[in-house]
Structure 1
Amino acid sequence: MRTRSFGTFSANIKHVCFLDLLQYVMELTFLRLMGGWHLLIAVSAAASALSRAGETHAKVNTSAAAHFHSFRKKFHRLYEVDSEELIRRRLYFQNATLRHLYLNSFSTEPQSARYGINQFSDLSQMEFSDVYLRAFSSRAPAFSGGSIKEFPAKFDWREKGVVGPVQNQLSCGSCWAFSVVGAVQSVYAIGGSQLEQLSVQQVVDCSFKNKGCDGGSPSVALTWLKQTKVKLVTQSDYPYKAKTGICHFFSRSHGGVSVKDFSLQDFSGQEEAMMGQLVQNGPLAVIVDAVSWQDYLGGIIQHHCTSQWSNHAVLVVGYDTTGEIPYWIVQNSWGTSWGNEGYVYVKIGSNVCGIAESVAAVFL
C-alpha cells in the first residue's frame, strides 16, 4: 500500500484538546486506509500534542468559536442550537483551523498557497473525501512522443474565449464528468464553433460503466463517448441536478457534440511536453490527489500535495512560466467561492499533486 509524505502533521500542532485528538486520530486513520500517513506517527504525535495542551488551547478555542459563528453566517449553516450536529461541526471546524496552521507554515514565499476557512471547513476530512474526491484513475502509458520545440512561456485558453465558466458539482461526486465535458466543449469551441455549456448530467446519468454521483473515471467516460458516438447535448437540454438519474436518450437528428478519439498519457518528468500538448490540443482533463485542497484559498501549491493517491478530476486550461514559480492554471468544479475564483494554481515541474500522471486530451 502506498503511503503519504505530507510530513508529521500533528507534530506541528501545539494546542489540541482530548476530543479534538480523538477526531484527529480518526481522520488520520481514515487517510491511512486510503494509502495515507503512518498511523503510528499520527498516534505518537497526537499523544505528544496532548501533553502540551493547556492555557493557549483555550485561547485558540475562543478564537475558533468566533470564527465559527462568522462562518455559519457567511455560508448559511442553520444548525439547531446545542444540537449534536452543531457540536460535531464545531469540532470539525476547530480541527480545520489546526490544519491551516500546519499547511500555512510552508507558505514562506509571496506566491505560496494559502489555506484557511472556506465552504468545506465544517466537514471532516472523511466527509470531504467521501463526497468530493470520487474520481478513479486508469493507468496511463508514459508519454513517448516528441515535444513541441517552441511554445509560449505563458498560455491560457481562457484568453481565447474557449473555456466555459466555473461550475459547482455540489454534493455529487461528479468531478470526473465535469472535467470531461469541460475539455469537450473547449475543444469544440477551439475548432471554430460557438462556446456553449454541454451537459454534465448526461455524462453522469449515461456513462454506464461509471457510478454517477458515487464517482467515475474520465478515461472510462471518454471511452464510452468514443465507442457509442453519443452526442453531448447542451446543458439547457439536459440540466444538471447534482444527483444520479435515469439516462435520457435523444434522437440521432438532435444536435450535439461527439468525440472521435482521445489520448491518455503519463507526463511524469515530462511536464514541458505536457505544456506542448495543452497548446496543441486544448484544455486537458487530469486526475490529481486533492486531499489538501479542502482548505485551499489561493496561491501556488508547491508542498504537502503528493502524487500518491489519484482522487479528483479537474481541467488544466493554461500555464505560466514567466515568474519565479512556474504553475499550471487549473479549473475546478467546486464553485467560484473556492480558491482563486474557482481555480487552483499548481507548481510545474515536480508532478505536484500527481497532476502529470493521468492526462487526457480530446479530439473531435
Structure 2
Amino acid sequence: MAASSSNTTVLLLLIIATSASLLSLAAGRDFSIVGYSSSDLTSTDKLVDLFESWMERHSRIYETIEEKLLRFEIFKDNLFHIDDTNKKAANYWLGLNEFADLTHEEFKNNYLSLKPVNTRRDTVNDSSSSSLSTVEIRSNIPKAVDWRKKGAVTPVKNQGSCGSCWALSTIAAIEGINQIVTGNLTALSEQELIDCDTSYNNGCNGGLMDYAFAYIASTGGLHKEEDYPYIMEEGTCEMTKADAKVVTISGYKDVPANNEQSLLKALANQPLSVAIDASGRDFQFYSGGVFDGHCGTSLDHGVAAVGYGSGEKGLDYVIVKNSWGPKWGEKGFIRMKRNTNKPERMCGLYKMASYPTKSK
C-alpha cells in the first residue's frame, strides 16, 4: 500500500506541475495520422504530454484528480495496445480517437446495443414478402458500388452513450431507399423510433432493425430529423410533432444469411441495415484501411452497408456507415474485408442483413 500511494503521489505532482504548460502546447500539437508518435512512448513526461494534448483535442474535463489519474492509466493501456497492433497489422491501423480513455468493457457497455433474436421471420411479420423489390435485382452486379457518391447517404451521426445503433442503422437504410426512389436525400428521425417504437425495441437499451422496419411500415412513416431531433436519450413519444409523415416504406426484406452473392446483389440496389460483432478491441480504435482484424460473430451492433469495392492491395471490402461520429474511422465509415474463409464473413457481416422496400 505504501509503495502504491507513493507512486500515485509522484504522478499526481507530475501532472499538476506540467498541466499549465502542456495545455498551451496542446492546441498547436502536430498529431500524426494515428494521434501519436513513437517518441511519445519513451517516457512518462511524454505520455503525460500526449494525454494532456489528447484531452484538449477532445474537450475532455474530469471532475476530480483521482478520475484524471484513472483515465490516464486507461489511456496508456489503450495507447500501448494501439501501437502494438499497428506494428503487426498490415491492412488497417488504429488511432487515438475520442474513446481512448475508456476501458474496452466501458466502451462495449455504452456503444454496443443490438438485441438479435434467434430467427427474425418467426418473430417479425415481413410485410413485403410478397412484394417486388424496389429495383429489379441485377443478375450481373457492378464491380464496385458506393452509395455515398450516388447521393443516397446522409452525414455520419453520433449515437452518443444511448444504445440506439439499431435505430440509426434502420434510418440509414430508409434514407437511402427514399433518395433512390424520390431523388430527395432527407435526414430522418432516429429519436422517433427510440421514443415510439417500444413494443419490441427498447430505446437506448437496444433493439433490432427488422422490428423497426415493421413498425414504420405499420404506422405510416417517419418525421424529418429536424422536426423530431436526436437527443441521445429516451424521451416521450410525440407522434404529432408535425402534421404529416415525410417518408414511408412498403415493408422490408431479409437478405439470405451468409450468402455473399445475395448480399452484394441487394447492396447493388440500395443501402442495407446489417448487424456485426463490434466487440473486438481493435474496433474501438479503428482509424483506417481494410479491416481484417480479430472479431467474432456474436452480433452486437447495428450499422449500414453503403457500398463495396476493392482496395489498393486487391482486398475486397464492404463499406460500412457507423454511428460513432465522423471522428471515428474513415470519417465515420469502415471498410471491412469481405473475402474470408468464413461464410458469415468478417465480424458476422453476412449473418443478418435486411432492407426496406418502397413503392415508386
**TM score, norm. by length of structure 1:** 0.76
Q: Is the 8 A contact 2:227 2:242 kept in 1?
A: no
Larger radius of gyration: 2
Match of 2:144 in 1: 154
Q: Shift of residue 251 of structure 1? A: 8.5
Write the distance in 2 (CA, Å) between the matches of 1:251 and 1:197. 16
Match of 2:100 in 1: 121
Write the distance in 2 (CA, Å) between the matches of 1:304 and 1:193. 39
CA RMSD in angstroms, aligned pairs only: 2.5
Match of 2:299 in 1: 310
- Give the alignment partner of residue 238 of structure 2, picking from 237, 244, 248: 248
- Give the alignment partner of residue 266 of structure 2, picking from 272, 277, 286: 277
Write the distance in 1 (CA, Å) between the matches of 2:278 and 2:229. 27
Q: Which amino acid aligns with 1:187?
A: I
Q: Is the 8 A contact 1:203 1:221 kept in 2?
A: yes
SS of residue matched to 1:320: strand
Matched, 1:360 2:351: no
Match of 1:225 in 2: 216
Q: Is the 8 A contact 1:139 1:358 kept in 2?
A: no
Write the distance in 2 (CA, Å) between the matches of 1:252 and 1:196. 15
Structure 1 runs not aligned, ≥5 long: 1-17, 20-57
Q: Is the 8 A contact 2:278 2:295 kept in 1?
A: yes
Write the distance in 2 (CA, Å) between the matches of 1:95 and 1:136. 30
Structure 2 runs not aligned, ≥5 long: 6-40, 122-136
Match of 1:179 in 2: 169
Write the distance in 2 (CA, Å) between the matches of 1:61 and 1:140. 52
- Can you list the C-alpha shifts for 1:8-54, whole angstroms capped at 9, x where unaligned? xxxxxxxxxx99xxxxxxxxxxxxxxxxxxxxxxxxxxxxxxxxxxx
- Give the alignment partner of residue 214 of structure 1, picking from 202, 205, 208: 205
Change (3 A) 1:322 1:116: closer
Change (3 A) 1:60 1:325: farther
Match of 2:251 in 1: 261
Matched, 1:237 2:227: yes
Q: Is the 8 A contact 1:332 1:344 kept in 2?
A: yes
**TM score, norm. by length of structure 2:** 0.77
Write the distance in 2 (CA, Å) between the matches of 1:239 and 1:204. 11
SS of residue matched to 1:317: strand
Write the distance in 1 (CA, Å) between the matches of 2:339 and 2:321. 19
Q: Is the 8 A contact 1:140 1:264 kept in 2?
A: no
Write the distance in 2 (CA, Å) between the matches of 1:116 and 1:64. 15
Q: Shift of residue 75 of structure 1? A: 0.4
Write the distance in 2 (CA, Å) between the matches of 1:140 and 1:349. 25
Q: Shift of residue 335 of structure 1? A: 1.1
Percent identity, aligned pairs only, is 31
Q: Is the 8 A contact 2:138 2:265 kept in 1?
A: yes
Q: Which amino acid aligns with 2:116?
A: S
Change (3 A) 1:140 1:150: farther
Write the distance in 2 (CA, Å) between the matches of 1:311 and 1:301. 17
Write the distance in 2 (CA, Å) between the matches of 1:190 and 1:95. 45
Q: Is the 8 A contact 1:328 1:346 kept in 2?
A: yes
SS of residue matched to 2:192: helix
- Can you list the C-alpha shifts for 1:237-261, whole angstroms capped at 9, x where unaligned? 1011111011111389613222221
Match of 1:287 in 2: 275
Q: Shift of residue 84 of structure 1? A: 1.6
SS of residue matched to 2:149: helix
Match of 2:182 in 1: 192
Q: Shift of residue 104 of structure 1? A: 2.2
Q: Shift of residue 69 of structure 1? A: 1.4
Residues paired across the two proteins, number: 299
